[in-house]
Structure 1
Amino acid sequence: MLSTRRAKFRRTFSMLVLAAFVVVFAVAAMLLGGFLLWSAAEIDDNAVTSQSQRVIHAVEALRTSTPREQESVAVWDDAVTAARQRDENWLESNIGKWMFDYFGHDESYVLGPDDTPIYAAIDGKIRKPETFLSRASALAPLLADLRKLTAAGYLDTPPNVADYVLLDGRPVMASVIPLISDTGNLVQPAGHEAVLVTIVRLDLDFEMRMIDRYMTEVGRFTTVTSTAAGIEAFAVTNRAGRIVAFFEWLPFRPGQELLQRTAPALILAFVFVSLLVSLLLYRLRRALRALEFKRIDAERQATEDALTGLPNRLSFDRQFNGRLDAIKLRDPPTALLMLDLDRFKQVNDTLGHHAGDELIRAVADRLRAVIGPTDVLARLGGDEFAILHTCYAGTVEVAALAQRIVDTIAKPFRVQGSDAFVGVSIGIVVATSGQRDSHELSRKADIALYEAKSAGRNRAAFYEEAMDEQVQNRHVIEAELREALRNPGQLWVAFQPLCGDAEEVLGAEALLRWTHPQIGMIPPSRFIAIAESTGLIEQLGEFVLRRAAELGAHWPGRTIAVNISPAQLRNPTFAERVFALLRETGMRPADLEIEITEGILLDDESTAANTIRSFRAAGIRIALDDFGTGYSSLSYLKRYPVDRIKIDRSFIAQLSTANASDAIVQAMVTLAHALDIEVTAEGVETEEQFQALIGMGCNTFQGYLFSKPLTVDDIHTRFAAPLPRVA
């Protein structure tokens, strides 16, 4: 018995010693391996950051160096004289060849005071001045800005405008500068100087100069980012912040060389020791394996989203708090991006929950492909995701990441044999070393996410301090709006007349108004969006419909138009409620016109189409409001039954002042008439606009030229005896 106990003790002791040895070995190996991995990652990150900074410096340097190089010939009496006399020989020797041979400017143009081309050179060789006309439209904003600057006056140094633009689908640096006298003896009217235009192509020659001058990595400029793994890209933006091109390069990662040199030796050592102890570990591993598997599975279930394999909210919160605690004073800030899918509910309801799960997995895969290797991606639940991103290059880098996410998610998903279209709204907050409260940062990101959705969805918004006040204001407006719905008297409906080309009143559009007892008149722009997000819009919509139906019942033959929100149209009982209201008030269906927007059709095609068809079958007219401001107008005109389009006031306001607006409005009218659709012009305010629209063939008109919105008593009077126009 004693010997048995001793043997058992020895076995137990041996296993404990062996286990201790294995633990020490494993810990040492893990520490060494972890240190190597961490060191390699740190070295690689620092190397990539340094390379990125050199690229940024090179791109920004080109924006400032190009005008300085132009000044070598632009501030020169001889240049002004040559431009006046159109001396092509002088211009070729001193501008065309000089700018190409010495500075590497690929294209040079000299424009007269009226912006007509005088001289053109490409690759140092003279070309016909008309060659510039192919560049004129792309460079027009730069020339316009330069003319404003020169007209304002300047001292010794002439103003210039330089920016990145696309020419022939390729990115270039374009710079414009006036030709001025270096002695002051040649006087030119301010804003009417000859102009030197030079263009530097972002091609192989420029990339070689970048490598030579700024020691950048070998790369290329492109208009689309590569999807290949390991490629770094820097977004080249113009003055307006829009992305013009990307500089892509395969970064040099010295950390990987460290791993390649040390990993083989470590692996051999580990294998050798493992072989020595493998026999002794067998029994111990069998006993521990089951426990380890259970532990790993329990941990995975606790911290991983089962559908996508991403970290869940619990795991994300832990990592977020860890990053906040680790941020030091000089460390780059961490950005929190809150993502919420747009129109996911429609896909889920239309194709089923299995399709919704498949879509969520596909979205997770696309997000994995977009984020960087150090970013943290998690699914918080439903159609909500979150990303932690280290801002090595500031908010511009975060904005570029957010835009890439928006563009990626906007592409169609193939789900169960059908194309599913969703978007994503993103709220962003940047945490610096002084911010440690993850809950507060999450709250701010949620506020920014709400702003992104309120601004039209499918976009990103950065948190700003003013948003907190806006949230409080929304809460106040919501509470006061609920009170206004409970107590009649504050809400009322105005009616803006709808006129024909002879200025006769054909009908009116119902417009909701709110007169608060303390605040006074509250514009719809302040409370309609809040009503839509809080579910109050259906009550407001029914209130307006009832007042419109009461007016329409009193004046048969007059068209009464009512704006309908997406929430109303998605309600499956909405059509029956409208029909019941028409029966109750006695209004003829043919006198009611329902105004919808393109966004309603895009958000919920099947439900919207069925409801609209039921309205058309009953004789109710359908109008497409704010036509031309969306991106789906032409396709939906063919696919959905529409009786009228209403051209947005933004186009009407620019008539006779912008040729493009005239052509666009004429095209809209022609297209609508070709489809047997009437056209209404909104926001007509001048006689010139009215006459131009008549000439284009518009059928009906609205605007302050004819009348402002009227009270119900005033519209009754106007219908009974049409009044003269109100100017």
Structure 2
Amino acid sequence: MSTTATFGFGERRDQTFLARVALPAIAAVATLAIALTAVVLFSASQANKLAGDRQQALIETVLKQRAAAVAHDQEGVTIWDEALRQVTARRPDLKWLDDNLGIWLHSYYGHDEAYVLDPAGKPLYAMRDGARIDPGRYRERVAAVAAPLIQDLVRKLEHPSLQSITVPQRTQGSYALDRVGGHPAIVSVKAILDEEGTLTPGVRPPFHVSVRRLDGSFLMELADAYQLADARFATSIPAGSARGAPLVDRTGETLGYIVWEPFGPGALMAKRIAPFAIGALVVILAMVGWLLIRIRRSTLALEASEAQA
């Protein structure tokens, strides 16, 4: 047999081995790698979605609880004989009101604004951001929001019912989400009563109005407590992976959203297992390559034996 014929036969033999053995083996490994990658990415995506859904549901529940908590904070100072006496005095002690019904609520509970109204709804005292301000500012900042809440509270007081009291509160209250000074806020109204929480029939009590803005210290506390990355207030949920909890007022209008970047456990999982997956793929490729070499050598030895025979 000539050299040219031998070379042509060897080339056809290599091509046959490549087509029948090597390429299918490489294709199988590639298919396995693609399938495993797809499974990991799909699992990571589902884990991220599930974690995001649970985090969003948690934040929406917490927002409702925090709204009720503002009213509960007020009860520490509005169910009090001395508070009722001070507010109904001919000349209320403004320093006492600072220390108990105004600035104290800002220092201890983080309330951003507080107002004390007499039974007729006239503002007697006002606090904003930890400082006493002119009570007349009440009308321009909060009156439009607080008025329907006061009316609702008066109806509850005139027709008391245990069902209208939200646990763990002791007395009726009225609160809602709305805008105050251009900021989304929780606005809560409580009646100032004696320590028994009683109301003399036919007598309208003085009122305490408290405001907690949702885009200030409240948002910072929420982000720290629940590990919300890049938490912020936005009028809409930006495109991308960001999540948002809607802030809805009592009319059903959406005031905006508390937006954050959700925690992605799936991405973290994929990042951690990627080195191991790549290492496993390299090992598999090495094993396949070694097997192909062994098969090729065995094939050549068999062909040589057949040729000699």
- TM-score normalised to the size of structure 2? 0.76
Alignment equivalent of 1:256, drawn from 245, 263, 267: 267
Is residue 238 from structure 1 mapped to residue 249 from structure 2 by the alignment?
A: yes
**Post-superposition offset of 1:174:** 0.7
Which blocks of at least 5 consecutive residues in structure 2 are unaligned?
1-5, 293-309
Structure 1 residue 152: Cα displacement: 2.0
Structure 1: gaps spanning 5 or more residues? 281-727
1:63 partnered with 2:76: no
> Cα offset for 1:260?
3.3
Q: For 1:198, what is the secondary structure of its paired residue?
A: strand
2:177 maps to which of 164, 167, 176: 164
Which residue does the alignment assign to 1:180?
193
Q: Offset of 1:154 from its aligned partner?
A: 5.1
**2:303 paired residue number:** none
Q: Which residue of 2 aligns with 1:193?
A: 205
Higher alpha-carbon deviation: 81-90 or 71-80? 81-90
Distance 1:19 1:124 in 2: 76
- CA distance, structure 1, for counterparts of residue 196 and residue 80 of structure 2: 8
1:73 to 70, 73, 77: 77
Q: Which residue of 1 aligns with 2:124?
A: 118
Question: Contact 2:119 / 2:205 at 8 angstroms: preserved in 1?
Answer: yes
Alignment of 1:147-158 (within 5 A): 147-153=154-160, 157-158=170-171
How far apart, in 2, do the equivalents of 1:188 and 1:110 lie?
21
Name the CA distance, whole Å, in 1 between partners of 2:232 and 2:205. 34
- Whether the 8 Å contact between 1:48 and 1:253 is mirrored in structure 2 is yes
What corresponds to 1:211 in structure 2? 223
- Cα distance, 1:71 vs structure 2: 1.0
Cα separation, partners in 2 of 1:184 and 1:176, compared to 1, 3 Å? closer
Task: Give the number of the structure with larger relative contact order, counting CA–CA contacts within 8 Å between residues 6 or more apart.
Answer: 2
Which amino acid is the alignment partner of residue 182 of structure 1?
E
Give the distance between the partners of 1:184 and 1:253, measured in 2 at CA: 48
Q: Which amino acid aligns with 2:115?
A: Y
Alignment of 1:181-580 (within 5 A): 181-183=194-196, 187=200, 189=202, 192-212=204-224, 214-263=225-274
The DSSP-based 3-state class of the residue aligned with 1:102 is: helix
The SS at the match of 2:43 is helix
Post-superposition offset of 1:34? 1.6
In the alignment, does 2:38 pair up with 1:34?
Answer: yes
Q: Confirm or deny that 1:141 pairs with 2:148.
A: yes
Q: Which residues of 2 match residues 67-106 of structure 1 at below 5 A?
A: 67-85=71-89, 86-87=91-92, 88-106=94-112
2:174·2:188 contact (CA, 8 Å) conserved in 1?
Answer: yes
Task: Sort the Cα spacing of 1:103 and 1:170 in 2 relative to 1 into closer, same or farther, 3 A.
Answer: same
User: How far apart, in 1, do the equivalents of 2:110 and 2:277 lie?
Assistant: 52
Measure, in 2, the Cα distance between the counterparts of 1:163 and 1:185.
24
CA distance in 2, matches of 1:186, 1:262: 65
Q: Which amino acid aligns with 1:124?
A: G
Give the deviation of 1:255 after TM superposition: 2.2
Q: What RMSD over aligned residues (CA atoms) do the two structures have, in Å?
A: 3.3
Residue 265 of structure 2 aligns with an amino acid whose one-letter code is P
Q: What residue is the counterpart of 1:53 in the other structure?
A: 57
Counterpart residue type for residue 16 of structure 1: R
**How many residue pairs end up in the alignment?**
272
Quote the sequence identity (%): 26
Does the Cα contact within 8 Å between 2:79 and 2:197 map onto a contact in 1?
A: no
Deviation by residue 1:394-421 (Cα, 9 ceiling, x = unmatched):
xxxxxxxxxxxxxxxxxxxxxxxxxxxx
Amino acid at match of 2:245: F
